[in-house]
Amino acid sequence: MAKEFLRPEIYQRVRCLQCRQRMALEPGQKEVYCPSCGEGWVIVWLTEGIPHILRRIKPHYLPGKE
């Protein structure tokens, strides 16, 4: 369904929020590292074909850092 209405450059892709580089994803992929700037992103799938960036990957992101 998503393929019908999303532009091709958006379907199954996300855009790096640091350098704006578009990145193609495999279905269900949960993390991606930007080939251009190296920044890493956690991905959620809103539905089949539509990934969305949840947040940036950061090693000390989870509890312990305060």
Partner 1 sequence: MEQIAYIDLSSKRVSTKNIPDEMLQQYLGGRGINAYLLYNHTKKGLDPMSPENPLIIGAGLLGGHCVTASGRIHITGKSPDTGVYGDSNAGGYFAPELKYAGFQHLVVKGKADRPTYLWVHDGEIELKDASHLWGLDTYQTQLKIAEELGDPEVKTICIGPAGENLVSFACVRHWLKRTAGKSGMGCLMGSKQLKAIAARGTRGLAAKRPEKLLELTKKQYDYARSTKIFQIASRWSNFYAWVMSNEGERLSVRNFQHHYFPEGYGNIDIDIFMRDYSEKMLACFGCPMHCQHRYQIKTGPFAGLKGEGPEWMCQLFFCANLGNTRYDSALASMEACNRYGIDCSTYGALLGGLMHLWQEGIINEKDTGGLNLEWGNQQAMVEMVRQIVNREHLGGIVADGIVEAAKRIGKGSEQYLRTCGKGLHLEAGNVKMLRASALGFLTSNRGNDHLRGVVNLEFMNLPPKVLEDIFWRPVDPDQLSWQGKAWMAIWTQHLYSVSDATGLCRFWTKFFAPDMFGFDEPTEMINAVTGWDISREQLLEIGERIWNIERLFNVRDGLGRKHDMPPRLWVEPIKEGMYKGIGVDLDKYEKLLDEYYDLHGWDREGNPTAETLKRLNLEREPSHIL
Give 33 or 56: the residue with its C-beta nearer to partner 1.
56
Residue 53 touches partner 1, criterion: CB under 8 A? yes
Is the CB of residue 12 less than 8 Å from the CB of residue 51? Answer: yes
Residue 59 touches partner 1, criterion: CB under 8 A? no
Residue 52 touches partner 1, criterion: CB under 8 A? yes
DSSP 8-state class, residue 52: E
- Please state the φ and ψ torsions of residue 33, each to the nearest 5 degrees: -110, 130
Q: How many residues interact with partner 1 (rule CB under 8 A)?
A: 28
Residue 25 touches partner 1, criterion: CB under 8 A? no
Q: How far apart are CA 47 and CA 66, in angstroms?
A: 34
